[in-house]
Amino acid sequence: MSDLDHAISLLRSCKPIPEPAVRELCYKARELLIEESNVQLVDAPVTICGDIHGQFHDLMELFRVGGDVPETNYLFMGDFVDRGFYSLESFLLLLSLKVRYPDRITLIRGNHESRQITTVYGFYDECLRKYGSANVWRYCCEVFDYLALGALVVGAGSFVGDENEECEVEVVGVGGDVVTRLKRRDDGAGLMNAANPLQEGGAGGGDGGTVGGPPGSGASGSSGGTKGVNNGAVLCVHGGLSPLVDSVDKIRLLDRKQEVPHEGAMCDLLWSDPDGNLFPLLSTLDLCHRKLTELEIDGWGLSPRGAGFLFGADIVKHFNHLNNLTLIARAHQLVMEGFKEMFDSSIVTVWSAPNYCYRCGNVAAILELGEERNGSGSGVQWSAGAGRGQGSGVARRGPGRRYRVFEAAPQDSRGMPAKKPVADYFLSFVNWVTFHPITHFTYLAPGTPKAPDFKLYYMLMNNQP
Amino acid sequence: MSRSPPLQTAPNIDVGKSITRGDWKVTTHKLPILNSTEIEAMTTALGISPPEMIFGNNSVDVTNEKLNWSISFNALDALELVDKSGESMLKVSYSEAWQKMRERVHEDIKEIVKPYDWTYTTNYQGTVHSSDRPFQQTGSEIPFDKLKRPDPILLFDDVVLYEDELADNGISILSVKIRVMPERLLILQRFFMRLDGVLFRLRDTRLFIEFETGEIVKQYQAREDTYANVRSGLYMHPPEQIPSLLRDDSFIAERLPVIEMERERVLLG
């Protein structure tokens, strides 16, 4: 058994590997990742996963539900670390699988794969606790800087399900039964129907947008008719779009090998969120007086937090159209149902941390994109006229999507750290009973003697369940 | 606009607790965060997006049917009191630098999406339903000598109403702890907010009920200090412990000066 396989088997049982092994692994991973493009090309079939956040046992559940590496081809959209109890084991397992099976697993960077964020949200503390020094944290952070910023999935099929019952969307619930099947609407308008005339505002207008050109190239030429070219691609990023990035090529040009900056395109890709409220911001009067082209600008908004962008439906549709994409898959936001499609299925949030922070009670999901099937060509020609028939621009149809929903790993298998010791419980318990008489109504200057500490007394007095 | 998946997959189990002491009934509800449909309904009701982790079905309720009095602590009512005008909006620590950059690059993007207090700060003190007996201002303390007694604790629960990670700029959490003893109970509802590099904020509501006499004492306390002040007060702690100390609301609470205090009392008996 090679060292790497040994490390993988240790990590699979949720055991940390020795510090020199981490260093070696991170070194190898960097060598591998440095060769990757900012936007990795990935062939379907692929299973797309969202945030993991150190929930190791739930990651194992994910592999149980979605298949193991290398049998299943995986794409993880970042946020491997922080918040959960096992950031280290989760990240190192994914990383060692990446080194072992580079073509079967793709890792892209989330906003938590950063020095600053991991210092605040737990990964740093965890490394310190498990190794007694920050070395392992440093090795991991160096790897973070080399992770790709996005991935482009090509060759995804248009349908899921068996030949007889081809569907656009299939939802496999907890337990493995199909709970929902949605047929593709073959009325030409596809999912981008005309329910809201604004929604197609960005899609090139009329007939000009015949789809073609390599996905993500920004070229919108005529249809080539070749498999993999004709189909739009799926862009995967952790957060979302950036006003500085109007084509996938612009992402390719970024210098990614650095700490996540507080501003700029790289930051936006990892941090921004779609927002369904952007249009209602405009008054009806506004809507009457503005042209659709102006509305596109309004599709960007500022977060009330004072930093960060929000983007609306038209931004996504416009971007998808220009870049020959049929879907943007992203993570970054907690969704109770594990996934959430927005803006007429032009973007989807995938969330893969069930019972987030061990208390939210949410389910998680992974998104499976199948392979293009031979012989079902007629069903997958995006630009073959069906969309044009409606005269509403080209209705590019999203890939067939299978969402597998799963719950948190059973409690007994998760090996949670023991409950807080009783003393701890009562300490915090006592804290909320005590009232600190001296601090009432007064500001305490630094160095002012504190009120007599009643804690110990209360602790002794109350120490019974 | 969004197409919510038509499925029921989340476990919908209430792990709350309940106890009755005389005419007093105490109930806690603990359920998963709201689903997309419920979130949309709440967004419409509130006019703002609820916090990321919204436990909209959780609550702590104390009821006395005989006296026609009850108090409930729940997320919807707490969020109603969040500033929705955007007047008291805080900004994340790097906002200024970010804004400068943005103005250089995208001066056309100006619209702040729904300005509101995105830290979800609330001075909520529970929702009281009472026929005619309002709280009165009082000088009297919660009788915590009675709480010091080593009485058996018949029910203890810790119920989160909402929590938001402030887009990884800190934390806002509103939670309710309750402790029921044979003759009395104590509730602490705590709002704790840490905006990294900017501010710490605490809003505590303590509610004491003496079952026999129907005496209810409520104390509301607001504490606040800048991040820098709190941080510099920790110089004696080893640097590697500081991140986890800054996450510990009990530890931080004692270090924040009181900026507002109210005491109220009502005698139902």
Q: Could you read off the pLDDT of B206-227 as tens digits, one per residue?
A: 999 999 999 999 999 999 999 9
Size of interface A-B (CB pairs under 8 A): 208
Which candidate in A57, A112, A318, A321 is catalytic? A112
B240, closest residue in chain A (CA to CA): A125
* Low-confidence winner among A272-286, A427-441, B94-108, B124-138 (lowest mean pLDDT): A427-441
Domain with A134 in it = 3-176+230-279+296-374+397-412
Distance of alpha carbon B267 from alpha carbon B212, whole angstroms: 11
Residue A10 lies inside a defined structural domain of this protein: yes
In this predicted structure, the answer to whether residue A391 has a pLDDT above a threshold of 70 is no
Say what the pLDDT of residue A354 is. Answer: 96
Structure tokens of A407?
Answer: 């719950």
pLDDT in tens, A219-272: 443 333 333 334 689 999 999 999 999 999 999 999 999 999 988 999 999 999
Among the partner-chain residues A306, A309, A359, the one whose CB lies closest to the CB of B95 is A306
DSSP type of residue A289 = H
Percent of chain A with pLDDT over 90: 56
In this predicted structure, the answer to whether residue A402 has a pLDDT above a threshold of 70 is yes
Q: Which residues of A touch B250 (CB under 8 A)?
A: 427-428, 431-432
Nearest 5°: the CA angle B30, B35, B41 is: 105
**Cβ proximity of B199 and B227 under 8 Å:** yes
Q: Where are the domains of chain B?
A: 14-267
Among the partner-chain residues A341, A359, A431, the one whose CB lies closest to the CB of B253 is A431
Q: Which residues of B touch A403 (CB under 8 A)?
A: 5
Say what the pLDDT of residue B151 is. Answer: 87
Q: Quote the distance between the C-alpha of residue A131 and its chain's center.
A: 29
Supply the mean pLDDT for chain A. 77
Distance of alpha carbon A425 from alpha carbon B177, whole angstroms: 12
Residue A152 lies inside a defined structural domain of this protein: yes
Structure tokens of A100?
Answer: 């072992």
Distance of alpha carbon B113 from alpha carbon B133, whole angstroms: 42
* CA dihedral (B89, B90, B96, B98) positive or negative: negative
* Low-confidence winner among A215-229, B155-169, B249-263 (lowest mean pLDDT): A215-229
pLDDT in tens, A339-382: 999 998 999 999 999 999 998 999 999 999 998 876 444 333 33
- State in Å, rounded, how far the first CA of chain A is from the last one: 51
**Cβ proximity of B70 and B104 under 8 Å:** no
Q: Which residue has the higher pLDDT, A383 or A300?
A: A300
State the Cα torsion A143-A145-A150-A152 to the nearest 10°.
-60
Say what the pLDDT of residue B11 is. Answer: 57
Q: How confident is the model at residue A299 (pLDDT cuts 50, 70, 90)?
A: confident
If one counts the domains in chain A, the total is 1
Q: Which residue has the higher pLDDT, A295 or A443?
A: A295
- ipTM for this prediction: 0.85
**What mean pLDDT do residues A169-175 have?**
91
**Cβ proximity of A333 and B50 under 8 Å:** no
Residue A225, Ramachandran bin (φ over 0: left; ψ between -120 and 50: alpha; else beta): left
B165, closest residue in chain A (CA to CA): A121
Residue A418 lies inside a defined structural domain of this protein: no
Say what the pLDDT of residue B112 is. Answer: 67
- CATH code of the domain in which A102 resides: 3.60.21.10
Say what the pLDDT of residue A278 is. Answer: 60
Residue A26 lies inside a defined structural domain of this protein: yes
Prediction pTM value: 0.81
Q: Which of residues 56-75 of B touch A (CB under 8 A)?
A: none
Q: Which residues of A touch B147 (CB under 8 A)?
A: 433
In this predicted structure, the answer to whether residue B230 has a pLDDT above a threshold of 90 is yes
Q: How confident is the model at residue A433 (pLDDT cuts 50, 70, 90)?
A: low
Distance of alpha carbon B218 from alpha carbon B128, whole angstroms: 12
Say what the pLDDT of residue A198 is. Answer: 28
**Cβ proximity of A25 and A96 under 8 Å:** yes
Told to judge if A112 belongs to the known catalytic residues of this protein, a careful annotator would answer yes
Among the partner-chain residues A342, A356, A433, the one whose CB lies closest to the CB of B144 is A433
Quick count: other Cβ atoms within 10 Å of Cβ B83?
A: 17
Q: How confident is the model at residue A411 (pLDDT cuts 50, 70, 90)?
A: low
Residue A417 lies inside a defined structural domain of this protein: no
The pairing of strands A74-76 and A46-49 is parallel
Interchain contact, A461 vs B167, CB within 8 Å: no
Q: Which residue has the higher pLDDT, A442 or B157?
A: B157
Tell me the nearest-neighbour CA distance from A399 into chain B, angstroms.
16
Distance of alpha carbon B73 from alpha carbon B62, whole angstroms: 9
Interchain contact, A336 vs B10, CB within 8 Å: yes
Residue A285 lies inside a defined structural domain of this protein: no
Interchain contact, B2 vs A335, CB within 8 Å: no
Q: Which of residues 138-157 of B touch A (CB under 8 A)?
A: 141-142, 144, 147-150, 152-153, 156
Tell me the nearest-neighbour CA distance from B66 into chain A, angstroms.
28
